[in-house]
Chains A and B, each alone.
Chain A
Amino acid sequence: MPRVKVARKSTAIDMTAMCDVAFLLLTFFILTAKPKVEDPSKAEVPPSSKEVTIPDDNVLTISIGKGGKIFLGFSGNDVRTETLKTMGDQVGVSFTPAELNKFANTEIFGVPMKQMKQFLNTPSDQMKNFEQTGIPADTTINNELSNWIITARKANRGIHSKDYNIAIKGDRLEQYPSVNTVITVLGHQKLFKFDLITTLKAAPKRH
């Protein structure tokens, strides 16, 4: 009687599918990751127990950095281009397409209008060393910050026909007067609802 031969099976596992999955996941994570925008205001936000996340798009953020410097950032590259054009027209400065393009890719800025050209012509590698002095602002009805905000809102309304959500990002140790300035500027534009950006700390027990 012939012996029944048991076919020896290979112990190798086909790794192809696993490899596919791994790289698919990898690609997904890389493509969905957003680069972190360097915040020139370096504001260290205070903690709170609120867990409301702010929306990613359609936000206008006013940052109050150290020394009360005010920075502004608003979403939408097209809106930024339009806003800078309008702001330039108001003070009689015209910007080149390259400058407009640079501004469109600047997520957050804090320079007075006088320095804007100089700021936009700074090469990217020297941008870090460029000392941004903050957007001038006071509690009067007309100042540069309120001009920026109203122009940006108008541009956003014109292009996307919606109004910005306003967020305020303040430095932890910034004293109240600068916060008050921003709130007053917004109040003059009938903006009374806004978000204060905070970091999460563990919520205490409710009583």
Chain B
Amino acid sequence: MAELDTSGGGKHKGGKVRSKKASTRVDLTAMVDLAFLLITFFMFTTTLNKPKAMNLAMPDNSVIKNQLPVAESRTMTILLGAHNKVEWYMGLPGKSAPTVDGYGPNGLRKALIDNGNQVASTHAAPDNFMIVLIKPSDKSTYENLVATLDEMSITAVKSYAIVKILPIEVDALKSQGNY
């Protein structure tokens, strides 16, 4: 097949008829074809995407260390409600009505960036970064939590924590129909 017969046969001029020497070479083309086919198959079927991970550090609340008071105007609280909705407010709970928002670039991310800039411009350095409290309600999903934490890293929020939600905040979520 892949080998041309170069022996130039057909010259027996009445001499002894010799049996042709059979070549010991095996045609490997088909075998190579098969091997590469298998390689290709294995390469395509193996999944290359390993699971990715997101680091999360919870505060160690078993030991109360020295705690510095923080200006309330620097804190932004994010309440994770039901139906993939968030509500956020600045400062202390109950003082201002929370803003209802969605996840994603135009919702929470925009709010985080805007509030971050506002805090940075109204406070003196070096204590002018925003502190974010994430409060997942019982009706929020794990995906919501991960999405929120992801927004933290996307918007480079320096300081954030997952905190237990307060009853007053649950009421706020309820009144907006997000619980």
Chain B residues with Cβ below 8 Å from A192 are: 57-60
Give Cα A45 to B52, complex, Å: 10
B140 within 8 A of partner (CB): yes
Q: Which of A101-109, A152-160, A164-172 contacts B (4 or more CB under 8 A)?
A: A164-172
Given A12-B3, A13-B2, A29-B43, verify A50-B52 contact (CB < 8 Å). yes
Give Cα A30 to B38, complex, Å: 10
In the bound complex, do residue B4 and residue A48 qualify as a contact, i.e. CB atoms below 8 Å apart? no
Give Cα A197 to B144, complex, Å: 14
Among residues of B, the one whose C-beta sits closest to the C-beta of A24 is B35
Chain B residues with Cβ below 8 Å from A13 are: 2
B25 within 8 A of partner (CB): yes
| Chain A window 6-50, contacts with chain B (Cβ cutoff 8 Å), 1 for yes, 0 for no | 001011110110110011011001100100100000000111111
A190 within 8 A of partner (CB): yes
Interface of A is mostly: mixed
In the bound complex, do residue A11 and residue B4 qualify as a contact, i.e. CB atoms below 8 Å apart? yes
B168 within 8 A of partner (CB): no
User: For chains A and B in complex, what number of residue pairs have CB atoms within 8 angstroms?
Assistant: 162
- Interchain nearest-CB distance for A5 vs B (Å): 11
In the bound complex, do residue A15 and residue B31 qualify as a contact, i.e. CB atoms below 8 Å apart? yes
In the bound complex, do residue A18 and residue B28 qualify as a contact, i.e. CB atoms below 8 Å apart? yes
Among residues of B, the one whose C-beta sits closest to the C-beta of A45 is B51
- Interchain nearest-CB distance for B35 vs A (Å): 3
Given A15-B29, A192-B60, verify A52-B42 contact (CB < 8 Å). no
Chain A residues with Cβ below 8 Å from B137 are: 176
Most B CB contacts (10 A, CB to CB) among A16, A176, A183, A200 go to A176
Of residues 41 through 84 on chain A, the ones whose CB sits less than 8 Å from some CB of chain B are 45-54, 64
Neighbour of B145 across the interface among A22, A179, A187, A194, CB < 8 A: A179
Give Cα A27 to B51, complex, Å: 25
Chain B residues with Cβ below 8 Å from A206 are: 154, 156
| Chain B window 49-88, contacts with chain A (Cβ cutoff 8 Å), 1 for yes, 0 for no | 1111111111111100000000000000000100000000
In the bound complex, do residue A15 and residue B53 qualify as a contact, i.e. CB atoms below 8 Å apart? no
- Interchain nearest-CB distance for B133 vs A (Å): 15
B155 within 8 A of partner (CB): yes
Given A12-B4, A18-B28, verify A204-B46 contact (CB < 8 Å). no
A interface with B by C-beta (< 8 Å): 8, 10-13, 15-16, 18-19, 22-23, 25-26, 29-30, 33, 36, 45-54, 64, 167, 169-177, 179-180, 183, 186-187, 190, 192-200, 203-204, 206-207
**Given A176-B136, A196-B55, A207-B113: 19 more A-B contacts, CB < 8 Å:** A11-B3, A15-B29, A26-B35, A26-B38, A29-B39, A29-B46, A36-B47, A48-B150, A50-B150, A64-B142, A173-B143, A176-B137, A183-B162, A186-B58, A190-B60, A196-B56, A196-B149, A199-B52, A204-B109
> Which 3 pairs across A and B sit closest by C-beta, in order of nearness?
A15-B28, A22-B35, A195-B53
- 13 example contacts (A-B, Cβ-Cβ < 8 A) are as follows A22-B36, A23-B35, A33-B42, A46-B142, A52-B52, A52-B55, A54-B51, A171-B142, A173-B142, A176-B142, A190-B62, A195-B56, A206-B156
